Amino acid sequence: MSKVVLVVAAHSDDEALGCGGTIARHVAEGDTVYAVFLADGVSSREGTGTVELNKRMEAAERARQILGITKNYYLGLPDNRLDTLPLIEVIQPLEKVISEVKPHTIYTHHYGDLNVDHRIAHQAVMTACRPIPGATVKEIYTFEVMSSTEWNNPADPFIPNCFVDVFEYMAQKMAALSAYELEMRAIPHSRSLDHLECLATHRGYSVGVKMAEAFALIRILK
């Protein structure tokens, strides 16, 4: 039976970094995938404006088409400043998307990431997806985003307990990441294409497959 999947990402490119292969696999298996981006991704950078914002959105739309995402939602909240907003101002627009999409499964950020927007995204998801009667969300997973998850405080480690074999979908993931070329970095940076391929190999080998993406299961209701 097909599922509706929603990826709740702080910024466009986090969806490809954290679960691009898994998204492509969901689509290939007949599921419908949506993505929502909470922050605009560029407004915290000095000297940026409409041109840079448009480029970021164009990249997100190219990645959407590559991965097979049905629709992207852009909430346009201030980049790297989600902690300056009352949490309700993040939760309410997210709740509207959840109400419209009615997802069964949600992927979002690890609560311990270094990036503050990632942490707020996690908190907003957990609040918006309270397990009340009639809620559509049955599964919540958190993903790792290089240059944030692995740079976090050691007291809040990302400990994966769920792995998705994405060997057949890595070409799509890498193509989606290439669409975000302005956000990628050269080796030996952890947000380089080379390292992300190495990470997928490491996660795969750790569970006996060629390539995988790793997640921490937060909640599942069968």
- Give, as one character, the DSSP assignment of residue 168: G
**Predicted pLDDT of residue 217:** 98
Backbone angles phi, psi at 6, to 5 degrees: -125, 125
**Digitized pLDDT (tens) for each residue of the chain, 222 residues in all:** 899 999 999 999 999 999 999 999 999 999 999 999 999 988 887 777 788 889 999 999 999 999 999 999 999 999 999 999 999 999 999 999 999 999 999 999 999 999 999 999 999 999 999 999 999 999 999 999 999 999 998 999 999 999 999 999 999 999 999 999 999 999 999 999 999 999 999 999 999 999 999 999 999 999
Record the pTM. Answer: 0.97
Number of domain units in the chain: 1
Backbone angles phi, psi at 213, to 5 degrees: -110, 145
**Predicted pLDDT of residue 45:** 77
Residue-range definition of the domain harbouring residue 190: 4-220
Q: Is the dihedral angle over the CA atoms 114, 115, 118, 119 positive or is it negative?
A: positive
In which residue are the tokens 């407004």 written?
Answer: 43
Backbone angles phi, psi at 108, to 5 degrees: -155, -170
- CATH value at residue 13: 3.40.50.10320
Q: Which long-range contacts (CB under 8 A, 24 or more apart) does 199-203 make?
A: 199/146, 200/21, 200/166, 200/170, 200/173, 203/160, 203/163
